[in-house]
C-alpha cells in the first residue's frame, strides 16, 4: 500500500476504489467511454428535478451566509446551464480519444523500435470551490482521457455535488464501467481536502481551481504533484491605433458578459495619446452596465465619476462589476504594468498596428495572449475542448485551458527482437 500516515480508512477505501477503476478505464475502448458520456449528458437533463432543488439549497445557504454575489453566480445552476453542461459533455464525447496516440518514434540502428504514446495519469484529484459545473466538466474529461477522479468540491456546493456525483456514478455503471471512477471526499470536509493533498501514491496529480488563497494553499501543502491553475488579473490594452467600435465592444464583453469568472477583464490600460478619444465611449458603455471604474489620476481627469484607484486595485481580481483603468505612455509602459501585476492568465491588445500586435504576442508572458479579441474566449469550451479542467498559469506540462491532452502523460514502448546492449 502506498505510504500515507494521515489517511483515514474510509477515505483510503475511496482512493483504492479510484485506483482500481483507473486500471479499468485505461484499457476501456473509446466507444464505451463515449457511451458513458452520452449517458451522463442524458442524465443531467433527465434529473433536473433532483439537481436544481439541491442547488437551491446551496444557494439559500450562500445567501444566508452573505456569500458574495460573484460566488453565488458561480454556484448557480438553472435549466439553461444544465443544458450547456450536457452539451459540453456531448462535445467531449465527439472529440478524438487521445489515449494511445503516438507522439514520436523511430527505429534505432540496432533494430529496436521505440514509440512515445499518450497514457492516462491514473487518478486525478481536484479541489475547487462553489462551482458544481466543474464536477461534471472534470469528471467527463477524466473519463474520456481514461482517468479516475477524486473530487473535493467544497461545502458551498455540497448538496448539488452530492446529487451530481451520484448521477455520474450511476451513468458509468449503466454502461458497465466502475462507478468508483468518480469519487468525492466532500463528506470529510476540510480534512478531506487536507488528506487529498497528502495522498501521494494514491493520487497521481492534483488540480486546484478557485481563489488565489485556495490555489496557494494546495501548492504549498500538497505532497501530490500539482498542476497550478491561477487567478485572473486579466488586462486589455487599448493601443494608440485602436478602433473605437472594437474597443467599446471588446472591453464591454470582456468585463460585463460574466464578471465573476477568471477570464473576465480586471484592468484596462489605455495609450495616453488615445485616452481622450477612447475612454469616454468605453466608459459610457460600461456605465450603462453598472460598472464602477477605479481610475488613476489621468483617467479621473477624463472620467470624472471614476473612483480614485489605489495600489491594491492593480492586483485585484474583482470578479464583480468593478474595473481598474490606467492611462499608460505607450506599449512598453503597458507591458511593464502587465509584467508587474499580471497573474499570467490572459492579456489582449486592441490595435491596428501589426508590429505592435506581434511585439505584444511575443513579449507578454501569459498563458493566453490575444489581439483584437475579448479575453472571455480563454475557455476550454470556446477553444474546442468541450470543457476544461482549469486554466493553467504555470509552465510545466500544461499551460492555458486544460482539455483531454493535458490529462495525459506518456510512456515509451520499445519493441525488440533480442537486442542486448554491448
Clarify whether residues 155 and 296 are in a common domain: no
Percentage of the residues of the chain whose pLDDT score is greater than 90: 87
Reported confidence tier of residue 1, pLDDT bands at 50, 70, 90:
very low
For residue 238, give the nearest of 129, 343, 325, 364 by alpha carbon: 325
User: Exposure of 243 by Cβ count < 10 A (0-12 exposed, 13-18 middle, 19+ buried)?
Assistant: middle
Q: What is the pLDDT of residue 280?
A: 98
- Alpha carbon distance 232, 210 (integer Å): 10
Report the CATH number at residue 409.
3.40.605.10
Clarify whether residues 271 and 163 are in a common domain: no
Clarify whether residues 206 and 287 are in a common domain: no
Q: What is the pLDDT of residues 389-400, one digit of tens each?
A: 889 988 888 899
- Decide if 382 is inside a domain: no
Q: What is the pLDDT of residue 4?
A: 44
Clarify whether residues 100 and 126 are in a common domain: yes
Q: What is the pLDDT of residue 6?
A: 52
Q: What is the pLDDT of residue 9?
A: 67
Q: What is the pLDDT of residue 74?
A: 87
- Decide if 198 is inside a domain: yes
Q: Which three cell numbers stand for residue 148?
A: 479516475
- Statement: residue 232 has pLDDT above 80: yes
Clarify whether residues 218 and 249 are in a common domain: no
Reported confidence tier of residue 381, pLDDT bands at 50, 70, 90:
confident
What pTM did the predictor assign?
A: 0.86
- Decide if 240 is inside a domain: yes
- Decide if 168 is inside a domain: yes
In the chain, how many domains are there? 2
Clarify whether residues 65 and 205 are in a common domain: yes
Reported confidence tier of residue 374, pLDDT bands at 50, 70, 90:
very high
- Decide if 1 is inside a domain: no
Clarify whether residues 207 and 75 are in a common domain: yes
Range of the domain at 38: 9-229+390-415
- Statement: residue 112 has pLDDT above 90: yes
Averaged pLDDT for residues 212-227: 91
Per-chain mean pLDDT for the chain = 94
Q: What is the pLDDT of residues 397-412, one digit of tens each?
A: 889 999 999 999 999 9
- Decide if 296 is inside a domain: yes
Q: Which three cell numbers stand for residue 273?
A: 495619446
- Alpha carbon distance 179, 181 (integer Å): 5
- Statement: residue 5 has pLDDT above 50: no
For residue 333, give the nearest of 272, 407, 242 by alpha carbon: 272
Q: What is the pLDDT of residue 387?
A: 85
Clarify whether residues 404 and 280 are in a common domain: no
- Decide if 3 is inside a domain: no
Rg (CA), the chain: 23
Clarify whether residues 192 and 302 are in a common domain: no
Sign of CA dihedral 367, 372, 375, 376: negative
SS3 annotation, 342-362: CCCCEEEEECCCHHHHHHHHH
Clarify whether residues 183 and 331 are in a common domain: no
3-state helix, strand, coil in the chain (%, to 5): 50, 20, 35
Clarify whether residues 26 and 167 are in a common domain: yes
Report the CATH number at residue 364.
3.40.309.10
- Alpha carbon distance 40, 137 (integer Å): 11
Clarify whether residues 316 and 329 are in a common domain: yes
- Alpha carbon distance 257, 296 (integer Å): 24
Is residue 294 within 8 A of residue 307, CB to CB? The reply is yes
DSSP codes joined into one string, 385-400: SSS-S-EE-SSSS--E
- Decide if 204 is inside a domain: yes
Q: What is the pLDDT of residue 129?
A: 87
Amino acid at each position: 500500500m502506498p505510504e500515507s500516515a494521515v489517511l483515514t480508512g474510509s477515505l483510503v477505501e475511496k482512493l483504492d476504489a479510484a485506483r482500481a477503476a483507473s486500471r479499468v478505464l485505461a484499457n476501456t475502448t473509446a466507444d464505451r467511454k463515449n457511451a458513458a458520456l452520452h449517458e451522463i449528458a442524458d442524465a443531467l437533463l433527465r434529473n433536473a428535478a433532483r439537481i436544481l432543488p439541491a442547488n437551491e439549497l446551496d444557494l439559500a445557504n450562500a445567501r444566508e451566509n452573505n456569500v458574495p454575489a460573484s460566488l453565488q453566480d458561480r454556484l448557480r445552476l438553472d435549466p439553461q446551464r444544465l443544458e450547456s453542461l450536457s452539451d459540453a459533455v456531448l462535445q467531449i464525447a465527439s472529440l478524438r480519444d487521445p489515449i494511445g496516440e503516438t507522439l514520436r518514434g523511430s527505429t534505432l540502428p540496432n533494430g529496436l523500435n521505440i514509440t512515445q504514446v499518450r497514457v492516462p495519469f491514473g487518478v486525478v484529484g481536484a479541489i475547487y470551490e462553489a462551482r458544481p459545473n466543474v464536477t461534471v466538466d472534470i469528471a467527463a474529461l477524466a473519463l474520456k482521457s481514461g482517468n479516475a477522479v477524486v473530487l473535493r468540491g467544497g461545502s458551498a456546493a455540497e448538496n448539488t455535488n452530492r446529487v451530481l456525483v451520484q448521477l455520474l456514478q450511476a451513468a458509468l455503471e449503466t454502461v458497465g464501467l466502475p462507478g468508483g471512477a468518480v469519487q468525492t471526499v466532500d463528506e470529510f470536509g476540510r480534512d478531506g481536502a487536507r488528506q487529498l493533498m497528502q495522498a501521494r501514491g494514491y493520487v497521481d496529480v492534483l488540480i486546484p481551481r478557485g481563489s488565489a488563497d485556495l490555489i496557494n494553499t494546495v501548492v504549498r501543502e500538497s505532497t501530490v504533484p500539482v498542476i497550478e491553475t491561477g487567478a485572473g488579473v486579466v488586462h486589455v490594452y487599448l493601443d494608440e491605433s485602436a478602433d473605437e467600435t472594437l474597443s467599446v465592444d471588446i472591453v464591454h464583453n470582456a468585463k460585463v458578459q460574466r464578471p465573476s469568472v477568471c477570464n473576465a477583464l480586471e484592468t484596462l490600460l489605455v495609450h495616453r495619446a488615445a485616452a481622450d478619444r477612447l475612454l469616454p465611449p468605453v466608459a459610457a458603455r460600461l456605465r450603462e452596465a453598472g460598472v464602477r471604474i477605479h481610475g488613476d489620476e489621468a483617467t479621473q481627469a477624463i472620467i470624472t465619476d471614476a473612483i480614485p484607484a489605489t495600489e491594491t486595485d492593480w492586483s485585484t481580481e474583482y470578479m464583480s462589476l468593478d474595473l481598474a483603468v490606467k492611462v499608460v505612455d505607450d506599449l512598453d509602459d503597458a507591458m511593464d504594468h502587465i509584467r508587474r501585476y499580471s497573474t499570467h492568465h490572459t492579456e489582449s491588445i486592441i490595435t491596428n498596428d501589426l508590429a505592435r500586435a506581434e511585439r505584444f504576442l511575443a513579449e507578454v508572458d501569459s498563458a493566453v495572449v490575444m489581439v483584437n479579441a475579448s479575453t472571455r474566449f480563454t475557455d476550454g469550451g470556446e477553444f474546442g475542448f468541450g470543457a476544461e479542467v482549469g486554466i493553467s498559469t504555470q509552465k510545466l506540462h500544461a499551460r492555458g485551458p486544460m482539455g483531454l491532452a493535458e490529462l495525459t502523460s506518456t510512456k515509451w514502448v520499445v519493441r525488440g527482437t533480442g537486442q542486448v546492449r554491448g
